[in-house]
Amino acid sequence: MCHPAVLAAVSIAGSLAGGVVQAQGIRQQADAEAKAEERRAELADRQKGVNQTQASFERRRTLEQFTRAGGYNRAAGAERGLSETGSLTDVADDNAYEAAQNIEAIRYRAEGQRDNLTFEARTARERAQSRRKAGQIGAAGAILGGATSAFTTLGKTVYSLSSG
């Protein structure tokens, strides 16, 4: 049979090692969660660029459609002997107004999406930071728990050896 002091030493070492291993696991899990949040933030940042490119394309396409429609209307009016005054001008003005409204709608939508993605990226980075901090606190708690268990075992052993 092993001496109680040897058993206590093994138990103490096990408690300390268990606390360290648990702390390492907590840190690794928190780091993995933080990295996932950072990837979400990167994705939101990339999506902002994609959205801006898409909005620029849509604005340019809308302007090109307006220009083509204006040219078609002028050609059709000239073919019919209409001058570029009166109703033909009114149609051109209406088309220009509609194109400007469409371009503004594209711009506002893109700005809204950009602001939402900026918020999403910032929030994901904050969650990453919080997860890392929680991992540090959890790891410290695990080490403290292992140390407390080791000291409890040591105290019980010392008490039983001194009283026995």
Could you give the count of Cα atoms lying within 13 Å of 19 in the half-sphere of its Cβ?
17
**What integer pLDDT is reported at residue 115 of this predicted model?**
94
**What integer pLDDT is reported at residue 162 of this predicted model?**
80
**What integer pLDDT is reported at residue 86 of this predicted model?**
62
**What integer pLDDT is reported at residue 112 of this predicted model?**
93
**What integer pLDDT is reported at residue 37 of this predicted model?**
93
**What integer pLDDT is reported at residue 2 of this predicted model?**
67
* Domain boundaries, position 68: 4-163
Average pLDDT of adjacent 10-residue blocks, the chain of 164 residues: 72 83 89 93 93 92 86 73 67 84 92 93 93 89 85 81 74
- Report CA 110 to chain centroid distance, whole Å: 19
Contact 48, 119 (CB under 8 A): no
**What integer pLDDT is reported at residue 120 of this predicted model?**
94
Tally Cβ neighbours within 10 Å of residue 30. 21
**What integer pLDDT is reported at residue 154 of this predicted model?**
78
How many domains is the chain built from? 1
Task: Quote the radius of gyration of the chain (alpha carbons, Å).
Answer: 35
**What integer pLDDT is reported at residue 148 of this predicted model?**
85
**What integer pLDDT is reported at residue 124 of this predicted model?**
93
